[in-house]
């Protein structure tokens, strides 16, 4: 199946790369709508999905929060700030095939995983009140 690259798809990809902050779909839409007010949320969401399916961006499923999108295609881990919700890359070697190393006593067929570290980002650490 050939997927043709539309102007809107290229704009969505360019915006994810430009934001470099692991944006949500709404953040991508809001950034694009500043200069292209006629673009619809549906168009942005559909193109984010297409870009994920084609491997040009990654979707990061964040527990208890909106999915985020990452322009970095290599496998790597992320950390989520418990105060502001910001998602950042973690500088750590990726562990390949971790799902094959799980001792599985419950009969699950493990097909993948998401690993998100939790903590407080530097900006939020600097805004904590002094004790």
pTM: 0.79
pLDDT value of residue 101: 75
pLDDT value of residue 1: 44
Please tell us whether the domain made up of 1-73 is placed in CATH 3.40.50.150: no
CATH number of 75-131, picked from 3.40.718.10, 3.30.1490.190, 3.20.20.70, 2.70.98.20 = 3.30.1490.190
Tokens standing for residue 121: 């980002």
Dihedral sign for Cα 18, 11, 28, 92, please. negative
Q: Which of 92, 90, 75, 100 is nearest to 121 (CA)?
A: 90
Residues of the chain predicted below pLDDT 50: 1-2, 130-131
């Amino acid at each position: 199946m050939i997927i043709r690259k539309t102007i809107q798809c290229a704009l969505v990809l360019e915006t994810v790369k430009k934001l470099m902050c692991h944006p949500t779909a709404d953040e991508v839409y809001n950034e694009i709508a500043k200069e292209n007010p006629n673009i619809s949320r549906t168009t942005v969401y559909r193109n984010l999905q297409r870009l994920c399916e084609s491997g040009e961006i990654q979707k990061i499923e964040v527990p208890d929060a909106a999915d985020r999108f990452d322009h970095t295609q290599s496998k790597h881990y992320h950390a989520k700030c418990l105060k502001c919700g910001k998602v950042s890359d973690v500088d750590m070697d990726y562990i390949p095939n971790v799902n094959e190393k799980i001792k599985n006593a419950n009969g699950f067929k493990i097909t993948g995983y998401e690993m998100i570290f939790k903590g407080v980002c530097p900006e939020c650490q600097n805004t904590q009140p002094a004790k």
